[in-house]
């Protein structure tokens, strides 16, 4: 499906003098969880925001609420992702920020997890991130300073659960890609940062019926961070002075 951008939004008034006033930000995974929380926080901070996710109805409802641009697409589809990024850049008059928050988790033991779940995990968490980032880089490089913020996980550095090995491997890839990209685009004044939270109350397991998903979903609800706390840190990274790069921000709740 070709993404159709809504008309260029009016900058939300509550944050017009906020820390991100004048910024043009694309957020993936914007229909729920960390992506939605980040979109809300960025709009409140004065940014003009484009929202990318597969859930078109949710996306357009949120875009209307925030005065944002909706560019529905599946990040796994390289052509659709490219078209969505182009639509966002056109609607906003360019891009100087990208938050890659789209992600999936399919928990289970490595010995028994299906190849289709492995494939989906890497397709969304790694390939999808690459598709959007690659399409956005020319726009970011053309800006007077820009940011890429990749939402990874503390699992990318250490496997926190024996049933999250495949997910952790995908997030380790996000860490490595982020470090490589940071070195590649530094001369273009594009900062690259990783946000690595522990469990977050996103409901990422709610549509799954495996025992592992039920256990991990319960743990997330019990001890997970509020996604708004993660969004706050993302805004801090985006608003940092130009001579500061937050290479990696790890965060968790006290009970984890």
Rg (CA), the chain: 17
Q: Where are any strands of DSSP class E within 18-139?
A: 24-28, 48-52, 69-70, 97-100
pLDDT for 15 equals 40
Pairwise CA distance, residues 55 & 58, whole Å = 6
Report domain extents, the chain: 13-251
pLDDT at residue 89, rounded to an integer: 99
Neighbours of 144 (CB within 10 A): 8
**Overall pTM surpassing 0.85 (yes/no):** yes
Residue 165 has a pLDDT of 86
> Mapping DSSP to helix (H, G, I), strand (E, B) and coil, where does residue 194 land?
strand
Walk along the chain (256 residues) in steps of 10 and give the mean pLDDT of each run: 43 57 98 96 98 96 98 98 99 98 86 90 97 99 97 90 88 98 97 93 66 63 83 98 96 82
Q: What is the DSSP string of 92-116?
A: HTS-SEEEE---------TTTS-HH
The confidence score (pLDDT) of residue 196 equals 96
Helix H segments across 201-255? 211-223, 227-238
Residue 246 C-beta-side C-alpha neighbours within 13 Å? 21
Q: What is the pLDDT of residue 217?
A: 57
Cβ(92)–Cβ(24) below 8 Å:
yes
Cβ pair 1, 71 in contact under 8 A: no
pLDDT the model gives residue 221: 66
pLDDT score at 218: 58
Catalytic residues: 167
Q: What confidence score (pLDDT) does residue 199 get?
A: 80
Q: Please tell me the predicted confidence (pLDDT) of residue 224.
A: 74
Pick the CATH number of 13-251 from 3.30.1950.10, 1.20.120.530, 3.30.70.980, 3.40.50.720: 3.40.50.720
């Amino acid at each position: 499906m070709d993404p159709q951008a809504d008309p260029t939004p009016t900058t939300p008034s509550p944050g017009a003098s906020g820390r991100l006033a004048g910024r043009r930000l694309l957020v993936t995974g914007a229909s729920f969880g960390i992506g939605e929380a980040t979109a809300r926080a960025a709009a409140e901070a004065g940014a003009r925001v484009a929202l990318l996710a597969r859930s078109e109805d949710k996306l357009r409802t949120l875009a209307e609420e925030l005065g944002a641009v909706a560019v529905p697409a599946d990040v796994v589809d390289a052509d659709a992702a490219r078209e969505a990024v182009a639509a966002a850049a056109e609607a906003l008059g360019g891009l100087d920020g990208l938050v890659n928050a789209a992600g999936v988790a399919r928990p289970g033991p490595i010995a028994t997890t299906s190849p289709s779940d492995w494939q989906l995990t890497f397709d969304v968490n790694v390939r999808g991130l690459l598709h959007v980032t690659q399409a956005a880089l020319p726009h970011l490089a053309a800006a007077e300073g820009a940011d890429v913020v990749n939402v990874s996980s503390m699992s990318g550095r250490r496997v926190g659960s024996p049933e999250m090995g495949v997910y952790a491997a995908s997030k380790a890839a996000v860490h490595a890609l982020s470090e490589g990209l940071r070195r590649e685009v530094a001369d273009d004044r594009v900062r690259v940062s990783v946000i690595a939270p522990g469990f977050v109350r996103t409901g990422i397991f709610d549509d799954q019926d495996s025992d592992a998903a039920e256990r991990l979903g319960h743990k997330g609800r019990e001890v997970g961070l509020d996604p708004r706390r993660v969004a706050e840190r993302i805004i801090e990274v985006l608003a940092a002075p130009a001579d500061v790069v937050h290479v990696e921000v790890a965060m968790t709740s006290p009970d984890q």
